[in-house]
Structure 1
Amino acid sequence: MPSAGPPTGLPLPPHLAPLPPGRPLPGGGQVLAGVPYATLPGVRPLELDLYLPPAGPVPAPVVVFLHGGGWRLGSRRSVGPAYPGPTAEGTAPTPFEVVAAAGIAVASVDYRLTGEATWPAQLDDAKDAVGWLRLRADDLGVDPARIAAWGESAGGHLAALLGLSGTVTAVAAWYPPSDLAALPGDTGADPGAPDSREAQLLGAPLAAVPELAAAASPVAYVAPGAPPFLLLHGRADRAVPWEQSERFAAALRAAHVAVDFVCYDDADHMWLGSPAAATDALARTSAFLRRQLGA
């Protein structure tokens, strides 16, 4: 969790500094862009964009969004190619704006990529983002007791681990890798490859570090009492085969954890090939978050 403050007499670290001015959103509310949430020695600023709904009579619930990109690419500014970027005149609202308009703040988070740090730095950063939201909840007007996680691909993997570690109260994960050791068998890849996404995450080929691969897999932490899950996956996914979510959902059900698993027949990774899946996934996710967070 981010430090509570500097020693007396020193300037505030960026994650404790006054918040930047917001930019109005078309449907009301505002976005605070590039807000530092953690200050780590020798590391680039870790920042998030915060989409706030219009102010209401009570603090808003919040969902932490974690981007995809195989842990080695991507940024907080994108939900993938199926959706528009920042709102421009004549375009549809972004997924973050859709969720904010439903009364839920969205904190879209950058985390260290594998070119910067290996596991578990990425999960540590995600936990720091949740900790920062709780630390600054009064300043932000959000409810520290109502925080969910949402992620796509590698970000879905991190979101699932946030939920299974008890850090958040609900999880929406799109096509997440849930069992790293099983991925080569699912994709037909070489478990000894040193340049796979998973090997770059762990710092070694999967076959060389089976215990670490298990420790970095959400399926290893499924237990009774975990928060509700929404798992969405494309049956035509060639990057993270849909069986990863099918087995993960089965493990959650076996532990009596509430899970809604939906598989879209024609959708590839990132909902490529199925605009209908992209539309439905966002609608389901928004409805799930409203229901679980009481928005």
Structure 2
Amino acid sequence: MVEPTQVQILRDLVYHQPELKVNPYHTLDLYLPPATSTPPPVLVFVHGGFWNTGDKAEHHQLTASLCHQAKVAVASVNYRQTAPNQTPMLRFPCHLEDVAHAVGFVWAYGEQFGYNSQRMYLSGHSVGASMVALLGLCPKRYLAPVFQDHYPDADWSHLYQCLQGVIGIDGIYDFPLLISTFPHYRSRMDLIFGNHPERWPDASPRLGEVLPDVLTDKHLGRLEWCIVHSLEDELVDLPQSQDFIQYLHNLQYRVVDACHLSGSHDGVLGTSALVETMTDFLHHSSSAKAP
């Protein structure tokens, strides 16, 4: 990927500050393409790392290249992480709640930063894909509380209506299946959930209960999905994405199957093929939904 030269970057914007001191995990980097007469859509990108590693700065090349090539604003998000011997121990869904706060921030500040927050996309890698998928499928459970806390006079469903699509990259959509396939991940799951495997489905988009208001919402026909997976991924196997695609089809979502890329689990993020796949999806989706 070519390093873009015409991308404005606003680093370490604080999207949530529950305490007086700023937490660096409650920040995001905002990438803005050159201004035009029409404000661009915005994509929120969430890194992976199994909820205990990773940082938005590691994905600068991907987010800057996507901003440059697709001509979209990109918000690259940090979120709190779980660490051994942490006091108090941070458990799921705290990480997802942070991402929901970031999405609310991006939605609220579109006019100030010059992008169109009425046309918002979510994307994530690995557990980042898990989290954005949960936001897309279960907005009332995860987005509504955040929205109502910060914007009590507004209708939270308006934020949901602004979501145009979700891009999952080498995601984990079924954690019980993951542990069945890769038992050595069990210790990392116990760090995040304690010794409570009965809670794993709560983080599994393919196993979660999709609330009736989403299934019957007229927006269902508009929200589009792009599921990306590398055939060379050594950490998350292909059935995670294949089974999730079938699950989305069963819910009557429109899905782009992009399970043909190359590169390791993390290496795929540095490929031009990923940027091209995401750009094609964003442009097709945007043109199809343009008023």
For normalisation by structure 2, the TM-score amounts to 0.77
Instruction: Pick closer, same or farther for the CA change 1:36–1:231 going to 2, 3 Å.
Output: same
Deviations 1:207-251 (A, max 9, x none): x331x2112111125674272111111234232111111100111
Distance 1:169 1:265 in 2: 23
Give the secondary structure class of the aligned counterpart of 2:41. strand
AA partner of residue 125 (structure 1): D
For normalisation by structure 1, the TM-score amounts to 0.76
Is the counterpart of residue 44 in structure 1 residue 23 in structure 2? yes
Aligned counterparts, 1:23-34, within 5 A: 26-34=4-12
**Which residue among 182, 202, 213 is the counterpart of 1:215?**
202
Deviations 1:12-47 (A, max 9, x none): xxxxxxxxxxxxx95424110111111023772411
Distance 1:157 1:135 in 2: 23
AA partner of residue 230 (structure 1): C
Give the secondary structure class of the aligned counterpart of 1:151. strand
Q: Which runs of 5+ in 1 are unaligned?
A: 1-24, 80-84, 86-93
Distance 1:43 1:179 in 2: 34
AA partner of residue 284 (structure 2): R
Cα distance, 1:184 vs structure 2: 1.1
**Which residue among 111, 127, 145 is the counterpart of 1:154?**
127
Point out the structure with max Rg over C-alpha: 1
Distance 1:190 1:75 in 2: 23
Seq. identity, %:
28
How many residue pairs get aligned? The number is: 247
AA partner of residue 252 (structure 2): H
Cα distance, 1:266 vs structure 2: 5.6
Instruction: Pick closer, same or farther for the CA change 1:73–1:255 going to 2, 3 Å.
Output: same
Q: Which stretch has the larger CA shift, 113-122 or 262-271?
A: 262-271
Distance 1:266 1:136 in 2: 36
Aligned counterparts, 1:227-266, within 5 A: 227-264=223-260
Distance 1:164 1:129 in 2: 17
Compute the RMSD of aligned alpha carbons.
2.5
Is the counterpart of residue 289 in structure 1 residue 267 in structure 2? no
Structure 1 runs (4+) greater than 6 angstroms displaced: none
Instruction: Pick closer, same or farther for the CA change 1:221–1:106 going to 2, 3 Å.
Output: farther
Question: Which one has a larger percent helix, Structure 1 or Structure 2?
Answer: 2
